[in-house]
């Protein structure tokens, strides 16, 4: 690889599609790695070129299964042992983020455990996007650049949705702060969905606080897993007299039967970023790329420039 750039970008197996787009935006080649798999499911990671004294950026989201996290940890350890100067983990989707506190007795705080594992492996910086809980940044003792997909989404909303008839909402009270930011930025009203759960991934009851009659509703969330909450919210909005319902969410976890639920729901469309690869077929799903945003962050970090101007809201 050419040594013209002050940094090298490498990718784990399942985030390669995004790393290639980031490198295209940076106008640099993607670094070559060798990942060898053994019969028992174990694997080993090695770099095909010298990274001694270089700043390396390792692109890998930690979405299920756990192999993606393990691969990232081995990439970090290998880079540390190969004498890389700085090791930045670029984790567009930070998994286990829903386990950010003890919400009942005798549970793990999984997000803190993952933070400790990444730090112990040897990262000097983390770049991530739309954490499920902002306070996870404080679980790290290294700098965390927490990007927001809002710059990508707000541009899409302005270009494609009727702002004069739009209302912002959130499928649960936890996302009120995020929805409020969109509401203020776009200058449109906001309503709230209140839900109660029987257990994880199962919504018991939901009701709308506010009026959506005759309006185009835009649901805002950070991630969609089984799509139970967001589709129930969409159907409820239509029952309350909404003209149409769309949704935007940063991370397309989309565990089965999410795609079928979205297909059958009242949603006109649901817009995600490409932080996680979405390969299932669903006509209502649209994917916007965040590669340029991550590329610009890498560029600015390497030249010691501020990245705060990348944040729209």
Tens digits of residue pLDDT in 124-148: 999 999 999 999 999 999 999 999 9
Residue with tokens 């979205």: 262
- Judge whether 290 and 129 are in contact, CB under 8 Å: yes
Q: What is the pTM of this model?
A: 0.92
pLDDT at 1 over 50: no
The whole-number average pLDDT for the span 5-22 is: 94
Angle between helices 176-186 and 150-160 (to 10 degrees): 50
Examine the pLDDT at 151 and tell me if it is beyond 80.
Answer: yes
User: What is the rounded CA–CA span in Å between residue 275 and residue 62?
Assistant: 10
For strands 33-37 and 43-47, give the pairing: antiparallel
* Residues near 291 by beta carbon (within 8 Å), at least 6 away in sequence: 18, 21, 22, 24, 25, 274
Is the model's pLDDT at 195 over the cut of 70?
no
The mean pLDDT value for 221-249 works out to 94
pLDDT over 80 at 150, yes or no: yes
Region 184-201: mean pLDDT is 79
- Catalytic residue numbers read 195
pLDDT confidence of 27, banded at 50, 70, 90? very high
Query: Which tokens sit at 272?
Result: 């995600």
For residues 22-33, give the mean pLDDT. 96
State the Cα–Cα distance between residues 261 and 254, nearest whole angstrom. 10
**In angstroms, rounded to a whole number, what is the distance separating the alpha carbons of residues 56 and 298?**
10
Share of the chain above pLDDT 90, in %: 80
Residue 2 pLDDT class (50, 70, 90 cuts) = very low
* DSSP secondary structure code for residue 102 in this structure: -
3-state secondary structure of 292: helix
């Amino acid at each position: 690889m050419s040594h013209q750039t002050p940094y090298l970008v490498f990718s784990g197996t399942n985030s390669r599609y995004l790393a290639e787009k980031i490198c295209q935006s940076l106008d640099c080649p993607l670094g070559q790695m060798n990942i060898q798999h053994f019969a028992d499911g174990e694997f080993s990671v090695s770099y095909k070129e010298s990274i001694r004294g270089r700043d390396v950026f390792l692109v890998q989201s930690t979405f299920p299964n756990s192999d993606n996290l393990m691969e990232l940890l081995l990439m970090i350890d290998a880079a540390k042992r190969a004498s890389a100067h700085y090791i930045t983990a670029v984790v567009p989707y930070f998994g286990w983020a829903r386990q950010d506190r003890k919400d009942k007795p005798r549970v793990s705080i999984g997000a803190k455990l993952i933070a400790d594992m990444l730090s112990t492996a040897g990262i000097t910086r983390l770049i991530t996007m739309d954490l499920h809980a902002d306070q996870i940044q404080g679980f790290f003792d290294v700098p965390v650049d927490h990007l927001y997909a809002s710059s990508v989404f707000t541009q899409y909303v302005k270009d494609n949705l009727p702002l004069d008839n739009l209302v912002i909402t959130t499928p649960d009270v936890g996302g009120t702060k995020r929805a409020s930011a969109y509401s203020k930025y776009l200058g449109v009203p906001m309503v709230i969905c209140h839900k109660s759960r029987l257990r994880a991934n199962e919504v018991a009851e939901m009701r709308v606080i506010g009026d959506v009659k005759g309006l185009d509703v835009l649901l805002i969330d950070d991630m969609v897993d089984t799509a139970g909450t967001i589709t129930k919210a969409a159907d409820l909005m239509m029952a309350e007299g909404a003209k149409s319902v769309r949704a935007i969410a940063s991370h397309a976890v989309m565990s089965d039967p999410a795609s079928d639920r979205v297909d059958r729901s009242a949603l006109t469309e649901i817009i995600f970023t490409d932080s996680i690869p979405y390969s299932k077929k669903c006509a209502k799903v649209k994917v916007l790329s965040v590669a340029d945003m991550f590329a610009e962050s890498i560029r600015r970090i390497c030249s010691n420039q501020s990245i705060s101007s990348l944040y729209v809201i």
